[in-house]
Amino acid sequence: MTTTDLKRLLQSDELQAALRPRKAKPSRRVVKKNPLKHIQVMLKLNPYAEVVKRRAHLKSIKATSGKVVAKAAAPAATGKKAAAPAPAKPTTTQVKSAAPVKK
């Protein structure tokens, strides 16, 4: 039997009638994204979240800008020279990244 004979046999009406229909491919599962980390997913669930997020951002900008102005005005009002700001404590991620890497 040659390859062409096999192909003709498989495509014959008698064999095709006896075979079951071809199964559909299974659909791939989509990984659910965390709405707290992905803003687009959050907006799909809660459109008002954009307004809340913007208000919180504007409120934090307003609060920090007020502190900067108040700190700058305080030494001038007392007539004393402003001291150098204390260095900030490093966060845990900064400490980890600064540590030497062993090979």
Residue in 80, 74, 41, 78 with CA at minimum distance from that of residue 49: 41
Q: What was the pLDDT predicted at 37?
A: 94
3-state helix, strand, coil in the chain (%, to 5): 55, 0, 45
Distance CA 90, CA 93 (A): 8
> How many CA atoms within 13 Å lie on the side-chain side of 66?
6
State pTM to two decimals.
Answer: 0.38
CA distance 2 to 26: 34
pLDDT (tens digit per residue) in 3-59:
678 888 888 898 888 888 888 888 888 899 999 999 999 999 999 999 999 999 999
User: pLDDT of 63-100, one tens digit each?
Assistant: 888 776 566 666 655 666 656 666 666 666 655 555 55
At 1, is the pLDDT very low, low, confident or very high (cuts 50, 70, 90)?
low
